Chain A
Amino acid sequence: MALIEFENVSKHYGDTIVLENLSLTIEDNEFLAVVGPSGAGKTTLLRMLLSQEAPSSGRILIDGAPIAPEPMPDRGVVFQRYSVLPHRTVIGNVMTGPEWQAAPFTGRLFGKARQLLKARAQDMLDRVGLGGHAALYPAQLSGGQQQRLAIAQALMMNPKVLLLDEPFGALDPGTRRAMHKLVLELWSEHQMTVVMITHDLSEAFHLGTRVIAVDKRRHDPHAPHRYGSIITSDFDAKPRLARQLARAAG
């Protein structure tokens, strides 16, 4: 269960206004795709949802409670790059989160607990199609495999919300299609709310149940920085009722 609410959220850096008075309610189990031109504030939106940055005004709530002021395990994330730890093996990366939670001082598990976690991590790797690569290091994987790993690593924490920041932007079209399929499957298996930033409109409509576009309210040639972005369009890409029916039938 994860209902996300933006209440009159604005963000500005000094004089430059990025987002203006944004209000948005994201239903539980929604797959929200955010599109918009470069510099429109898509990534700022995601960073605020991640608590990597704080809104200048307004607030963000998950299930009615304001989000923590720093990144927390309730919100998992996959960035376009650098989402995995280069010094840990593939399976080590997937085990990292649970290990940190279980062992506050050493960050490592030993003995039986380690074996149990390892089995769980191996299941997760099998699920995302990296089962045979457990002993490799991330730099030995292809771009698509690295993103699969980043997703697997995030899902090990069972986040309420999964945030995707142009996760497939650097992948070739074939790999991208395979990733779309995987993400849709994982989304329905894990019952999460997903917020995905993308600059690819067809990707947004293919994956998203709801697509919003953010763009500047007004382009003033003399003071381009004085107008922030708002939500310019909001589509129900896949109506909720149809989804629920499909799920009930499936």
Chain B
Amino acid sequence: MRRVINRHPSRRMKILMGALPFILAIAIYAFAADARGADGPDKLMPGLNAFTSAMSRLMFDIDRATGTRLFWADTWASLARLGVGLGISALIGLVIGVLVGFIPFLRALFEPFFAAFSLIPPLAVLPILFILFGLGELSKTVLIVFGIAPFIIRDVMLRVAEIPREQIVKAQTLGASSWQMILGLVLPQVFPRLISSVRLSLGAAWLFVIAAEAITAEAGLGYRIFLVRRYLAMDVILPYVLWITLLAFAMDYALRRTHDAIPWTRFKEGG
């Protein structure tokens, strides 16, 4: 009898086993919803019909109050907040992370401050952001940046510190100035890590978007979920959660592909 850690499923088996929990979850839900729905429509576990009718209303009917198709307006609002927040965070993280990570004097000046700053819980300062920046888009963007930029800065700084000393000395013997080393040595080597870092921040970024929208917004996936919660509208909440998950997965996948498209990262050191 081989040890359990040495037994591997075949390719086909792997796919099948990977799909199994999904199928099981759906089956259990369908079964339970059916059982609960036996005596009339159920609010907490609506059946498939309830989902499709609620979602088709949100996706295809124009809402009278806002004049938009709510589902798409919500999606666009949330993605725009997420994209702007992530983009600004990545840019700040790259510029500050590289400069502070690479230049000893800047490092001495800012490293302890960033270490402390990154420990401030962003949601705890959300009221301050609302007071300072109002209830509009700005405070939401600042919340996302506040939440994930410190992480990206520190991750980029760590990556800069990982560049072997030998390479930096070699670059200097090739006549590189500090600027040329930043441009031609540090930035290209840090860039793949930046993508991974943004990828890892996706979960947190969604959290901050939804948290901000839950408190105040006029549209957005998180806003909608928290709005319809008052009516126990599981037929909207559950598809929205699935949709957010799908969007997050697609973004994660796209970032992974972008990372893998950088040719030199595909080869392991010392190969």
Contacts and interface: CB of A to CB of B under 8 A. Distances in A.
A-B complex is real: yes
Interface of A: 50, 52, 70-73, 75-77, 79, 81-88, 96-97, 100-101, 104-107, 137, 139-140, 143, 150, 153-154, 156-157, 159
| A interface secondary structure, majority | loop
Interface in B49-77: none
B270 to A, nearest CB: 7
Given A76-B173, A82-B164, A82-B167, 16 more contacts: A52-B165, A73-B175, A87-B189, A96-B171, A96-B184, A100-B174, A100-B177, A100-B180, A104-B179, A107-B180, A139-B269, A139-B270, A139-B271, A140-B267, A140-B271, A150-B170
B264 A137 contact: yes
Given A100-B174, A139-B264, A71 B169 contact: yes
Contacts of B166: 79, 81-83
A72 B172 contact: yes
B164 A107 contact: no
Nearest to B192: A87
Contacts of A106: 183
Contacts, number: 90
Nearest to B268: A139
B227 interface: no
A103 B267 CA distance: 29
B263 interface: yes
| B interface secondary structure, majority | helix
Task: Name, among B172, B173, B176, the residue most crowded by chain A CB atoms within 10 Å (CB to CB).
Answer: B173
Contacts of B164: 81-82
B136 interface: no
Contact of B264 (A50, A79, A87, A159): A87
A81 B169 CA distance: 12
A48 to B, nearest CB: 12
B41 interface: no
B173 A85 contact: no
Contact of A107 (B167, B184, B269): B184
Contact of A79 (B170, B175, B184, B270): B170
15 contacts: A52-B165, A72-B173, A77-B170, A77-B173, A79-B166, A81-B166, A83-B167, A84-B170, A85-B185, A100-B176, A107-B180, A137-B263, A137-B267, A140-B267, A157-B175
Contacts of A79: 166, 169-170
Contacts of A88: 264
Contacts of A82: 164, 166-167, 170
A156 B179 CA distance: 21
Contacts of B185: 85
